[in-house]
Amino acid sequence: MSKEIFKVLEPVEPTSSKEEILCEKYRLAAIKISEEINNGNGIITNANFKDILKKFMFYCVKYISLSRYKEEYKIGKMKTTLNESEIISELTFIDNTIKIMSLFTPTELLQMFPVIKTYDGEKWGEKDYFFTMDLIKQYDPNVPIGSMGIKNMLDLLWNYMNDDLSQFLIAKFSITNYILKLNGEMGIIEQFMDENGLPSYILSVDGKSLIDCDTGEEIAIKQNTNFRVVNGGTL
C-alpha cells in the first residue's frame, strides 16, 4: 500500500472549542500512527498491521467528522480561510481514508461504528437501526466492503446510520462540491438536476424570489398569509 495514504498535516495548536480540541486530538493521534508506519521502527508488525490500520482509519473519520466545528470549515467561510491546495489536500485525505476503510468487512465496520439506536424510523419514513441492519445483511459479513466496488461501497456508507460516518461523508460531499464550483463546473446537486432534466434555482439576494439557473427567470416567493404571530406563538 502506498505511503501517500499516511501523509497527514503537521500538528497545530488546538483552539478553545471543546469539539475543536477533540478534533485536534484525533488528528494528532492519526499523525502519530502515520509516523510509526512511515518510519518502520518495528512497532508495527505483519501480525498487528491491520489492527493499526483500523485504529488509524477510526481516528481519521473522527477527525474529519469533527472538522465541521473548526472555524475555517464552517459553511460560507471555506473560500476565504483555505486556499485551493489545502482544500484539495483535505479531499485527498478523505479519499485515502475511504481506501483504507474498503479493507474492512461489514462485521468490522459494525464494531468500529455502531449503528444509531433509533428504532422508530418506519413510523416516520426515516432510516434507523433496523434499516441499516437489514442493509448489512445483504453483504457477506466476512468479505471487505471494498470488494463490492467503490460505487456500491459508498451507497452502503451513505445508508449506514452512524453519526460519525454521516458527517465524514457530508464533508466529502461538501468539499467535492466546492472544488467543482471553484473550477467553474456545476456542483453535485446541479449535475443531478441537469442529468434528470429538472430545473434548478437559486435564492435572490433579497430572499424574495427564486431565480431559474437556466433561463434567469425570477419567481416571486409567496408569503404565507394563513399564520399570524400572537404573543410569540403562531395561529
**Residue 84 pLDDT:** 75
H or E stretch at 229:
strand 229-230
Q: Are residues 234 and 140 in the same domain?
A: no
Residues of the domain holding 219: 201-235
Q: Characterize 59-73 residue by residue with b for buried, 16 or more Cβ atoms within 10 angstroms of its Cβ, and e for exposed.
A: bbbbbbbbbebbeeb
**Residue 73 pLDDT:** 53
The C-alpha atoms of residue 82 and residue 196 are separated, in whole angstroms, by 33
Q: Are residues 118 and 219 in the same domain?
A: no
**What would the mean pLDDT of 141-162 be, rounded to a whole number?**
92
Q: Are residues 97 and 212 in the same domain?
A: no
Q: Are residues 190 and 74 in the same domain?
A: yes
Q: Are residues 156 and 64 in the same domain?
A: yes
State whether residue 21 is helix, strand or coil.
helix
**What would the mean pLDDT of 148-158 be, rounded to a whole number?**
91
Q: Are residues 233 and 170 in the same domain?
A: no
Answer yes or no: is pLDDT of 235 > 60.
Answer: no
Residue type, 181: K
CA distances from 72 to 62, 66, 76, 188 (A): 17, 12, 9, 22
Answer yes or no: is pLDDT of 95 > 80.
Answer: yes
Which pLDDT band, with edges at 50, 70 and 90, does 230 fall under? Answer: very low
CA distances from 233 to 222, 228, 229 (A): 21, 8, 6
Residue type, 60: C
Q: How many domains does the chain have?
A: 2
Q: Are residues 193 and 220 in the same domain?
A: no
Q: Are residues 152 and 47 in the same domain?
A: yes
Which pLDDT band, with edges at 50, 70 and 90, does 182 fall under? Answer: confident
Q: What is the pTM of this model?
A: 0.72
Read off the DSSP letter of residue 232: T
Residue range 42-94, pLDDT digits in tens: 566 667 888 889 999 999 999 998 886 655 555 444 554 567 777 888 888 89
Answer yes or no: is pLDDT of 5 > 60.
Answer: no
Q: Are residues 15 and 114 in the same domain?
A: yes
Q: Are residues 190 and 223 in the same domain?
A: no
Higher pLDDT, 226 or 75: 226
Residue range 118-147, pLDDT digits in tens: 899 888 888 999 999 999 999 999 999 999
Q: Are residues 132 and 66 in the same domain?
A: yes
Q: Are residues 111 and 224 in the same domain?
A: no
Higher pLDDT, 15 or 100: 100
